[in-house]
Each structure stands twice: as C-alpha cells, then as structure tokens.
Structure 1
Amino acid sequence: MKQILVLLVSVLLLSTWVPVSLCAKKPVAVARKEDIPYIKCQVCEKLASQLYQQVQTKQAQISPKKISEYQIIEIAENVCNLKKEEADWILKIDIVEQGNKLELIEQDAEGICNSECKTIERACQEVMGYSDTDVAEYIYTSKPDIESLANYLCKDLAKACNSKPPPPPKDRTPGEPFVPKPTKEAEMEKMLRSMEGMPGAPSMKMYSREELMNMKNLGEDADDENDDDDDDEEFPSNLGKLLRDKESRKGDWKQRISKGIKNASESLKKHATKVSNRVQRWWRGINAARSKASKAEL
C-alpha cells in the first residue's frame, strides 16, 4: 500500500510539472569567486553546524541502530552540493552587507538560487575540499560537539577561520535581493530529486526548466498530452471516491480494502506506464538536443 501511495504521488506531481517548466527562461547563476574570502569563515562555521545537526538527525532516524561511518561520509560528501538534499541549508542563506563586512543571514524559507547561493556553495566546497572522509572519521570516532567540530574543520583542516576576513571593497556590486522560492516549485524539485533511480525513470536527473521544455517539444505529442491530462484528472477523483466509500461503510471492510487496492493497483499500473513512456520520451529528447548542440559546436 505504501508503494502504491508513493507511485500515486509521483504520477500526480509529474502531471503538474510540465506547465511549471514552461515558465520564462532565466539566466544561469554563477558564483562570485571574489566574494569567497569575505564569507569563507562564516560558511565554514555554518557547515560545521550542519554536519553536526544532520548526523544527529540521521542517528535519530535509524535509532536504536548506530550511525555508520559510511553514512556520515555520505552526508559530508553531499552537504556542499546543491543537487543533494543535504545542501538545502544553502538555499536559506542571504549575503548581506553590514558596515565593512559581509554577513550570512539565515532566512525562514528557501530562496531562489542566484549568484549568492552559488557563491556559498563554492565557498563550502573550498572549505571541505578533499577532507570529507577526514571530517567524517573525526565525527564518527570523537563524537564532538558543534564547537569542537568547528575548530577542527575551520582551524585545523581548512584554516578558514585562522585570520580575520578582509573587508570587501567599497565599490563592490551588491548581490541580488533574497527572493523566497514558490512553495510549489520547491515541492516539485524535491519530488523530482527523490525520484532519481526509481523504476520507470532510468538515469533520471534534475533538469533545468529549459531542458524540460526542450524534452517536451522534441519528444511529446500534443494529443497524447491532452489524453493523459484527462485521465489524470479522472483518476484521483475515482480513488478519492473509493477511499470515501471505505470510510462510510462498516461491513466487510477487509474485502472492500482488498478490492480497492486491486483496482487502485490496476489504475496505477496504467499511469505508471504513461509516466515511464513520458520520461523515456523526455530522455530521448534531451539526448537529441545535446547531440544537436554538440554537432553545432563542432
């Protein structure tokens, strides 16, 4: 039943993603490397805090088992990569000019990732460098508190906080204002990321809106899209009616649940096939677009 519900959510979210992906194009954000020296120590301190918190969270999730060193290494490898869930903390940071220094201010919600977001990611990667396994080993064997972990990472390994950061130049161009990311867009991105490696979505990766648009234009027929949309609208309604009937009746509930699951399973298989075909057409489309771009460059 759990697998059925997961697949149902996947189908519904995928059916609503295409309209979102057709929004206006936006320029690709690039890190401002010149800003890194002014924020490197602060980034390192926040990185240490994130490592500590995420390890504690993972430990609580798998309790009473103890977290393994491999699991800690996985966190350390992903915590500075915006394509991974462990790096979502970066999306909540805003770089703000305060007097003669830059401050990292944490916001309540994730923001749209522009150059400031990419700059923090780049600074985080420079801090971590090739020390992810060393940091993971230290956390696993020493079980340090946040302060000890920050000292080890920021002073002993990365040396990011061994000296006071220089003041930014007075003519520095301010970064973009922090813009909260629309809730629906954030949910879609997380859902697509969680679907990587799922059956029916081979080699699925996070694509930009422009790539999704190209995949749709190259690999999808308008009539098929309309047919799929009609079926998608009808399917949740039928399932909802089934679940309401289950709640309202009291008779042989085991038989009704079994029948409901069977019917839902059959419907889901049909929708899973459509999703699989759609993803495969998208994949062929993006490969064709990239191949065309490569030939154009040659």
Structure 2
Amino acid sequence: MKALLYVVVVSLVVSVWLPVSLCSKKPAGNARKEDIPYIKCQVCEKLAKQLYQQVQKKEAEIAPKKISEYQIIEIAENVCNLKKTEADWILLIDIVEKGNKLELVEQDSEGQCNSECKTIERACQEVIGYSDTDVAEYIYKSRPDVESLANFLCKDLTQACSTKPPPVPKDRAPGEPFVPKSSKEAEMERLLKSMEGMPGAPNMKMYSRDDLMNKKNFGEDADDEDEDDDEADFPSNLGKVLREKEKGKSDWQQKIRKGIADTSMTLKKHANRVSNRIRQWWRGKKTTSSKKGKKTGKSEL
C-alpha cells in the first residue's frame, strides 16, 4: 500500500512539472577516490565560501532575528550532502584536467550528477568530517570573513591545504563531460529534495514512465508479474488507491466518533447511577429524621 502511494505522489508531481522525456533515471556514477588528493584543497576553499555565503543568506532571511549556532550547524551538516539543497553548489562544478593538475571550474548551470559530482561530494565530506560543529562554532563566535574562514577550515582545522596536491598521473582516465540540466529538471529535483523527509515521501527520486507503471520497482513481490501494467489501468488503480485511502480516513473518523459517543454514554450512565444513589440516600435520611421526630413528640406527651 505504501509503495503504491509513493508511486502516486511521484507520478502526480512529475505529470504536473515535467514532460515524460525528462523523467528517465540518470545513471548514478561512483566517486573516483583516486582523484580526491588532487582536488581536496580546492574543494575545501569552495566549501568555506559556501559556508560563508549560506550563513549570510540565512541571516538575511530571518532578519531582524540573529542566526543561531544550531542553524549554522545545520548548514555545515548538509553542505556536503547531495540529497540536501545546501549541497546544490556541487552540481555547478566541472572537474577539468589541465596539464598535470585537476581544476574545479564553476559552470553557469547545474549539471547531471555523475562520477565527478560524487567525487566532489566525497572530497567535501572528507574535508569537513566530524569538524562540522567546530567550524559552525567558529563562524558563530568569530564571524570571520571568507579568507579567514578558509584559512581556519583548510589549514588549521583540517589541513586540507597544508601541502600542495601531487601531480596528476599521465595515464589518468579522463572524466565525463559536463552535461547541463534543463531548468525544469533542476527545478524538479529541488522540489523532490524539499519533499525528502516528509511523512509518506521518503527517498523520493525521479522515475521514468515505465518505472511508474511497473510496481516491481517499488518493492512489490515477484508474484505480481502477472498483473496488467497497461497505461489504461493506471488511472483506475490510482482511483482505487485514493478511494481506499479516503475510506481508511473515513473509518478512522468513524472510530473516533464512536469512541467519543461510547465514552459519553458511559459517563452519562455513571452519573445517573450516582445521582440515583444520592437521591436514595437523601430519601432514607429524611425518613429516619421523620421517624425520630414522631418518637420525640410521643415521649413529650
């Protein structure tokens, strides 16, 4: 049931924002760990710049309130994680081989995330490591400029730039070319990132039309292979899922109403019993008092 709901959410979002041709899955490249020593210092410098700029941006957003240390820590924790919007800066960088060096060249638009993207992310994570809270504390207390922050992060705290990078081997396999995303693709991915962590929408990704029609890709058992996956059936399946969801919601509301009604009835019965007992006690007391009064009158006579 949950798997089908994920399909519904993703398909509805995709159908509104993007044509089907833009929804195909992108090949996920692996980080090239051997390239990290050649770019680590550059990544650290860009990381320091991003931390500075994102803290400044956050301060502008919440003004006149002051940014808290916790908010800075949150930025530092997410800035090297491609699943978070704070790491979108990585998508703008292309790794270019120039002579015996690798250079990080910033592009005008976001690119498809391949092995180079993953390599920069991995290098960024190695730089900040467990120092995210330390650098956040430094930013919060010292309010440094970009240059001071880069020196602290890349030379004092992590030593990512303490030595020059080694020369790149001549037999290094070249990386993939930088492939820009369309503006709609970039917008769609930002939307999905913003939905990440929401209840009922974990680990949301972009899927092709075939993926959306094939429930096996969403954790269904192999026994479901016999089911009809034609496009004509999808709207009816969607309607069924939504009706079941609405029915479940209605049943839940009915249970709550019934529980309230039952509780009210129980309390009412209990109140009536107590009231009856009080009336009986009061009548008994009045009868006893009346009898006592008669006896006293007779004795006086």
TM-score (norm 1): 0.67
Deviation at 1:175, TM superposition (A): 0.5
Rounded Cα–Cα distance in structure 2 between residues aligned with 1:132 and 1:215:
42
How many residues end up aligned between the 2 structures? 224
Do the aligned partners of 2:23 and 2:209 also contact (CA within 8 Å) in 1?
no
Q: Is the 8 A contact 1:22 1:213 kept in 2?
A: no
Q: Is the 8 A contact 1:93 1:107 kept in 2?
A: yes
* 2: CA distance, partners of 1:29 / 1:207: 16
In 2, distance between residues paired with 1:191 and 1:177? Answer: 26
Q: What is the CA-CA distance between 1:64 and the residue it aligns to?
A: 0.1
1:211 is displaced (CA, Å) by: 11
Larger radius of gyration: 2
The equivalent of 1:19 in structure 2 is 20
Mapping of 1:141-152 within 5 angstroms?
Answer: 141-152=141-152
Post-superposition offset of 1:19: 2.8
Cα-to-partner distance string for 1:3-35 (whole Å, 9 max, x where unaligned) = xxxxxxx99634346835763x55320000000
Q: 1:118 to 1:173 in 2, by over 3 A?
A: same
Distance 1:71 1:216, change over 3 A: farther
CA-to-partner distance for each residue in 1:78-110, whole Å, 9 max, x for gaps? 000000000000000001111221110000000
Q: Distance in 2 between matches of 1:108 and 1:15?
A: 27
CA RMSD after TM alignment: 3.1
Structure 2's unaligned 5+ residue stretches are 1-9, 221-227, 247-301
Closer, same or farther in 2 for the Cα pair 1:209/1:21, shift >3 Å? farther
Name the CA distance, whole Å, in 1 between partners of 2:12 and 2:207: 19
The one-letter amino acid of 1:223's match is: A
Paired residue secondary structure (2:232): helix
Per-residue CA deviation, residues 54-92 of structure 1 (Å, 9 max, x unaligned), is: 000000000000000000000000000000000000000
Correspondence for 1:139: 139
Letter in 2 for 1:19: V
Could you tell me whether the CA contact under 8 Å between 2:127 and 2:160 is conserved in 1? yes
Distance in 2 between the 1:139 and 1:112 partners? 32
What residue number does 1:223 align with?
Answer: 232
Which residue type is aligned with residue 213 of structure 1?
D
Distance 1:22 1:58 in 2: 32
Partner SS state of residue 90, structure 1: helix
**Conserved? CA contact 1:91–1:113, under 8 Å:** yes
Shift in Å, 1:210:
6.8
Choose the corresponding residue for 2:207, options 206, 209, 233: 209
Residue number in structure 1 paired with 2:78: 78
Q: What SS class does the counterpart of residue 205 from structure 1 fall into?
A: coil
Aligned counterparts, 1:30-69, within 5 A: 30-69=30-69
* 3-state DSSP of counterpart to 1:95: strand
Contact 1:47 1:124 in 2 (8 A): yes
- Do the aligned residues in 2 keep the contact of 1:30 with 1:118 (CA within 8 Å)? yes
Distance 1:211 1:130 in 2: 40
Q: Are the structure 2 counterparts of residues 56 and 144 from structure 1 closer, same or farther at C-alpha, using a change threshold of 3 Å?
A: same
Matches within 5 A, 1:86-101: 86-101=86-101
Give 2:183's aligned residue: 183
Q: Which amino acid aligns with 1:202?
A: G
Q: 1: CA distance between counterparts of 2:169 and 2:138? A: 37
SS in 2 for 1:102: strand
* Residues in 2 aligned to 1:188 and 1:168: alpha-carbon distance in whole angstroms: 37
Aligned partner letter, 2:53:
Q
Letter of the 2:232 partner, please give it.
D
After TM superposition, give the deviation of residue 115 of structure 1 in Å.
0.6
CA distance, structure 2, for counterparts of residue 20 and residue 227 of structure 1: 24
- Over 3 Å counting, the alpha-carbon distance change for 1:211 and 1:127 in structure 2 is farther
The change in CA–CA distance for 1:210 and 1:129 in structure 2 (over 3 A counts) is farther
Long gaps (5+) in structure 1: 1-9, 230-269, 278-298
TM-score where L is the length of structure 2: 0.66
Match of 2:153 in 1: 153
The 1:11–1:131 alpha-carbon spacing in structure 2 relative to 1, beyond 3 Å, is same
Maintained 8 Å contact 2:213/2:234: no
Change (3 A) 1:215 1:119: farther
Question: 1:68/1:12 Cα in 2 relative to 1: closer, same or farther (>3 Å)?
Answer: same
Contact 2:51–2:75 (8 Å) recurs in 1:
yes
